[in-house]
Structure 1
Amino acid sequence: MKKLLPTSIAGSLPKPSWLAQPETLWSPWKLQGQELVEGKQDALKVSLQEQQRAGIDIVSDGEQTRQHFVTTFIEHLDGVDFEKRETVRIRDRYDASVPTVVGAVSRQKPVFVEDARFLREQTDQPIKWALPGPMTMIDTLYDAHYKSREKLAWEFAKILNQEANELAAAGVDIIQFDEPAFNVFFDEVNDWGIAALEKAIEGLECETAVHICYGYGIKANTDWKKTLGSEWRQYEEIFPKLQASNIDLISLECQSSRVPMDLIKLIRGKKVMVGAIDVATNVIETPEEVADTLRKALRFVDADKLYPCTNCGMTPLSRQVARGKLSALSAGADIVRKELLI
């Protein structure tokens, strides 16, 4: 029998200090060559063990093998020059120096497939793997070649589809596409963003997810949240079309956010990964606080479609805080699971 309320994490877990600088987003690697390969595998094993000890049901690599959730994938593609950099506005929030698309983008070989195969060998539990979504990829680059966000997104969707199919063949149970850009560019999301995402999942036999959050707890994101008013209704703009899409799971930010929970009604019928852990604070939630968020969500989503999760990745947190939050997520889900089974 399938477990009710299976828990998972949205994305990253903190990296060990011997691999990268702790509590730092996108920290450079401390190892090189074969040592780096082995170091990443060791970190992946540690990350898996921490999820298992906390009682997480659907496990992942904790993004131990990548430096950045978008550019690590792009680094392995042809057509992008990392030496030629331009400053662009990321998700209308902050400026960043980014690589330039200088020619046709293509993927010569798999990017994460070996890492996924390694994770699959370590556990019999269901595994989830995260990839950047097409729209978030184009928002992290300067395009000097296609000169069309839509055209570039479509090319990335084809590349992501190749990678996703190989990840599925390597034993991944859920492939998640990270699309924080979906919370910003509503017209583009509805015009072609969801269509590009559907291209990325074409032909996949495993389950698929899209993760749409309000970002890590960095200053640019927390400052932006302060401008959003007493209710965050961004999801309202895109949920109707997502509800009609072929994506299986939709991952949302709900803990300590101002997202009205009743917006979940707009994706009725989908599985919902409800973010019940706030990643923008070092305060560890109590199991009861997690349970309360899940109970609120259950008013709008059927219990067999509710997947307790974190709001976003936890790379910037300390390992101790992340462990505490994982345990709270698991314990909170257990409280509600028992209530449902009475």
Structure 2
Amino acid sequence: MNTSVVGFPRIGENRELKFSIEKYFRGEIDSKELKKSAETLRKRHLEVQKNAGINYISTNDFSYYDLMLDTIVMLGLVPTRYKELNLSDIDTYFAMARGYQKDGKDVHALAMKKWFNTNYHYVVPEIEDALKLEINLDKLIREYHEALSYGIETKPVIIGPFTFHKLARIKGNRDSKEFLASLVKAYSNILKECDNEGISLIQIDEPALVFDLTDEEKQDFIKSYKEILGQDLNTKVLLQTYFGDVRDIYNELLELDFWGLGLDLVEGKENLNLIEKNGLNRKVLFAGLVNGKNVWKNDFSKTLGIVDRLKEKDIEIVLQTSCSLLHVPYTTKGEDKLSEQYLSHLSFAYEKLDELRILGDLADNKDYRTTDIFINNQNLLNSDRNSFNQDVKDRLDKITDKDFVRTPARNERSKIQRKAFNLPHFPTTTIGSFPQTKEVKENRSLYKKGEKSKEDYIAFNKEKIKACVEWQEEVGLDVLVHGEYERNDMVEYFGEALNGFIFTKKAWVQSYGIRCVKPPIIWGDVYRTKPITLDWILYAKSLTNKPMKGMLTGPVTILNWSFPREDISIKESIYQIALAIRDEVLDLEANGVNIIQIDEAALREKLPLRKTDWHSEYLSFAIPAFRLTHSGVKPETQIHTHMCYSEFTDIIKEIDDMDADVITFEASKSDLLILDSLKDNDFETEVGPGVYDIHSPRVPSVEEIEKALKIMLTKVDKDKLWVNPDCGLKTRGIKETKESLTNLVQAAKNLRNVVYL
């Protein structure tokens, strides 16, 4: 049976692309050297897939930053402000991703949002009135022919017009329907050019089909693809979907002239039923049966059982990943610190290629259940993983409804806290982390390698914390943080301190652009045995008379930014983590830390893509899990939380129901669009919409921040508004951070003088 991969990671097994781009940003290499590095990576990735026996390999899935950003360039939809910089093509590309502040020019980056229900961030297209589509297929065609030169026939991948249109931000007076119509013409021409190049198969990704679709959206899709596919071309089209099912439009897809349909049979819970009930109308099914988002070995019995059911329908099947392998690490081969027991259960991108080949071979063998490889797989999956803890189970069983309710009510707590802290109006703070310099990372690395003593490691971090506190006091911030110099990542750090997690050495996954994370793997029941953050926070608190925030990561984010277990429910996992964080919260409070931030940056990520499933499958336990972490604190203790880079407007009421005292949002890159939702829903929680974008290296002026704050005051009560950046500062430089925070504090002071004097 043939096999296929939706897409492949591109950052490099050792993050080669990240380091090459950083060298380019620093001026240490030129664009030719950067392109050569990228070409080397692409060749390696193609050959790995070819050698693994994959039949349908993708090209154009490589990107320097993001595929949506690549699509903007492919369609010639670069906003005017970037064109006017008069930069090279590659520098214009990076200006859209990161912003540009040089030679007297100051341009913001495009917005970023989470890619469906993943921790990957995409760049949001911004469609101005004056922009006209101008197709540029240089990248697609070049990478296709590059693969051919290695003897590898591929299927180029592009994001489809329906998804691009749905995710784009159409500005000004441009008519949405007119823009979609122009996109359809552009994609029709793209197919023609692919046909002229001799490309036999193109993969068009339309993941937006797994959302709830209105009748109008369905008609738009059908009309669009009737035109795109209604040409006499040799190039075949594979329509690829992922992250869910296509229940709203399945029958209509059967009537359109797609050669193949790529359907997610892991997360798409209705897709198998749809196929069995309605058939596939002579189309080739690219069956997403190898999980592209998690790291566990495939259950051959379950997968081949589904293949057997599909064979009964006389359907031509290609086995493939459920989505792009962008969302998992490269390979387990370098994980020499993990035991064989752990490794035997894990499957990263390279291992998933092997699984596809093996499954393809087994699917062609009617006696596959008697083969050694099948029997060994089942024995592994049925073996005891020693992941159960009775104390954790007993504690979960004892949770009652009272454990999810904090008293007194928030409005009463607000009065108590205002008196206790005596903060100025528009209090200023940061989200938590401060710049992680080369020296900070080296200190942590040397300690982990055993090349630096624990005493020296702690002494270094204390020096950094002391300097950070002095720095914040000098700038004039009102609520301080300790800087998080001891933390590698907001989730990995907590996972390392909790029982139930395992950790990798090189299992990096791209989060956005060149930013990578190394998600922990939840192996067993989660619990805390001792305080995690207490010593660091108490040291920082001893250095100042100003309030010092305790900084924690919430249970939903810890789970969503880890690779979760598949042998228990998501709800049970989150509640286990919530109880562990609750213990940390209560320890901080008992030691005089009275402002505690419990970050839930990833709250929305596991939210089902269909609204009808939100409460039944996620919010009904995700929101209570957060409440469980803080319900035991005193009224005087102020609970903060933080969220970033997701669409929150449609769950604002649920966010308010988290019952935090203060929440900080990412808002600067989304034109403060969340403010209307806060006002429309009578949002009770005090709020700090981010006043500037920390993912861009530019420094916001006092005037720029003041302007943002004045807009906020039209939507947020003046007694509930906090002033802060939109996210943590770990990726920024020291100089730009200090300048930005100085301007932030001055803007807040100016506003106090305008509003209250």
Shorter chain as normaliser: what TM range?
Answer: 0.7 to 0.9
* Secondary structure, counterpart of 2:719 in structure 1: helix
- 2:461 corresponds, among 31, 36, 40, to 40
Write out aligned runs for 1:1-342 (5 A): 1-20=422-441, 28=445, 31-83=452-504, 98-144=519-565, 146-186=567-607, 187=614, 190-205=619-634, 206-214=637-645, 234-260=647-673, 261-265=675-679, 266=681, 268-342=683-757
Aligned-pair distance for 1:196? 0.5
SS of 1:308's equivalent in the other structure is coil
One-letter amino acid matched to 1:194 = I
Distance 1:137 1:245, change over 3 A: closer
- Report the CA distance shift for 1:2/1:102 in structure 2 as closer, same or farther (over 3 A): closer
Task: Assess if the C-alpha contact under 8 Å between 1:101 and 1:145 holds in 2.
Answer: no
Whether the 8 Å contact between 2:491 and 2:520 is mirrored in structure 1 is no
Confirm or deny: 8 A CA contact 2:552 2:596 kept in the other structure.
Answer: yes
Q: How far does residue 259 in structure 1 lie from its aligned partner after superposition?
A: 3.9
With over 3 angstroms needed to count, the CA separation of the structure-2 counterparts of 1:172 and 1:190, relative to structure 1, is same
Instruction: Name the SS for the 2:668 alignment partner.
Output: coil
Alpha-carbon distance in structure 1 between the residues aligned to 2:570 and 2:510: 14
Larger radius of gyration: 2
Change (3 A) 1:96 1:55: closer
**TM-align CA RMSD:** 2.6
Distance in 1 (CA, whole Å) between partners of 2:562 and 2:506 is 9
Give how far 1:96 is off: 6.0
Structure 2 CA distance for partners of 1:267 and 1:47, relative to 1, 3 Å: farther
| 1:63–1:239 distance in 2 versus 1, CA, 3 Å | same
Partner Cα distance (1:164, 1:335) in 2: 35
Q: Is the deviation greater in 95-104 or in 49-58? A: 95-104
TM-score by length of 1: 0.85
How far apart, CA to CA, are the structure 1 residues paired with 2:464 and 2:433? 12
C-alpha change, 1:242 and 1:144, in structure 2 (3 Å) is closer
Deviation of the 1:32 alpha carbon? 4.2
The structural deviation recorded for 1:210 is 1.5
Contact 1:183 1:213 in 2 (8 A): no
Structure 1 segments of 4 or more deviating over 6 A? 84-91
Secondary structure of the 2:522 match is: strand
Query: 2-side partners of 1:184 and 1:263: how far apart?
Result: 19
In the alignment, the residues of structure 2 paired with residue 85 and residue 116 of structure 1 have an alpha-carbon distance, to the nearest angstrom, of 29
Q: Is the 8 A contact 2:579 2:629 kept in 1?
A: yes
Question: Conserved in 1, the CA contact under 8 Å of 2:549 and 2:596?
Answer: yes
Rate the CA distance shift 1:280–1:268 in 2: closer, same or farther, 3 A.
same
Distance 1:98 1:16, change over 3 A: closer
1:247 corresponds to which letter in structure 2? A
Q: For 1:180 and 1:335, locate their aligned partners in 2 and report how far apart those are by CA, in whole Å.
A: 30
Question: Quick one: distance in 2 between partners of 1:144 and 1:207?
Answer: 33
Q: 1:237 corresponds to which letter in structure 2?
A: D
Q: 1: CA distance between counterparts of 2:633 and 2:739? A: 35
Structure scoring higher RCO (CA < 8 A, sep ≥ 6) equals 1
Unaligned runs of 5+ residues in structure 1 are 215-231
Distance 1:88 1:256, change over 3 A: closer
How many angstroms apart in 2 are the aligned matches of 1:108 and 1:281? Answer: 39
The range that moved more, 261-270 or 64-73, is: 261-270
- Give 1:73 shift: 1.1
| 1:46 alignment partner, SS class | helix
SS at match of 1:142: coil
Q: Distance in 2 between matches of 1:149 and 1:193?
A: 9
How far, CA to CA, are the matches of 1:60 and 1:238 in structure 2? 28
Q: Distance in 2 between matches of 1:35 and 1:167?
A: 25
* TM-score, normalization by structure 2: 0.40
> What is the identity percentage for the equivalent residue pairs of Structure 1 and Structure 2?
25
**Unmatched segments (≥5 aa) in structure 2:** 1-421, 608-613
Q: Is the 8 A contact 1:47 1:64 kept in 2?
A: no
Number of the residue aligned with 1:221: none
Q: Distance in 1 between matches of 2:736 and 2:668?
A: 16
CA distance in structure 1 between the aligned counterparts of 2:657 and 2:687, rounded to whole angstroms: 14
